Amino acid sequence: MPLREHLVEIRKRLVLSALGILVGAVVGWMVYDTVFQLLQEPLLAAAERRDALIGLNFDGVATAIDMKVKVSVFLGVLLSSPWWLYQLFAFITPGLTSVEKRYSFAFIAVAVPLFLAGIALAWYMLPRAVALLNEFVPPDTSNLIGAQMYLGFVMRLMLAFGIAFLVPVVMVALNMMGVVRASTWLAGWRWAVLVSFLFAAIMTPTPDVLTMFSVALPICALYFVAYGVSVLHDRRVDKRDAARLAL
């Protein structure tokens, strides 16, 4: 495909993804009040446990509306994840053969639950993160957190976990495109394990080893599952190429 057609295709997929996120953001705007209460719960629980003033601080005239817009857009990204993930793979699939293009929907069927599983794990970790960080607040003091800062923290945490869980899907996609063979993934398994544990150590809020392992091990397992799928694909391709050479 010429460069111009690639650029046109990228623009098309970006526009379609943006429209999907916009629709999701409209839904997010309508459920904002419920979501905002859920976001506050970790802070309220920490305040009750420490018997201290802990909460969100809207420190500007437009902060409240700005936060509502940002939360709505963030919810739009989450709700429309099946749509924009499909657009991503729809852009990649022209590089595949006609047979391999059939795997596109399988990729979406796997990518969406993995992305949402990462988001769910981050949501599970959020109350623990808030509780731990508030342990450092001195007694008889208040902790009024900037609403924008808190929202940024939550968004980064969730997106980091969601993207981390998508890495195995990208690995398999690159393998099926013929860019990377399974042997390359195997050669880099030590680095993959190291990066997984570093990610878990940085992103998990509690200092205990069990929590770190509970985050790192699923990521490592997904890496090796992706490697296994790549091995099966390489064997099928090698067998097909050998049969062609034999003719």
Contact residues for 168 (Cβ-Cβ < 8 A; gap 6+): 114, 222, 223, 225, 226
pLDDT of 139 higher than 80? no
Percent of the chain, pLDDT > 90? 11
Taking 80 as the threshold, does the pLDDT of residue 15 lie above it?
A: yes
Give me the amino acid identity at 9.
E
More confident residue, 167 or 5: 167
- Assigned token pair, 115: 């992305």
Residue % of the chain over a pLDDT of 70: 90
Could you give the CA distance from residue 119 to residue 159 in angstroms, rounded to a whole number?
A: 7
pLDDT of amino acid 28:
93
Residue 225, burial from CB neighbour count under 10 angstroms (0-12, 13-18, 19+):
middle
Terminal Cα distance for the chain, rounded:
30
Break the chain into its structural domains and give their ranges: 1-162, 166-247
Overall average pLDDT of the 110-115 stretch: 85
Look at residues 38, 110, 118 and name the one whose alpha carbon lies nearest to residue 78.
118
> Of the candidates 164, 156, 166, 168, which has an alpha carbon nearest to the alpha carbon of residue 205?
156
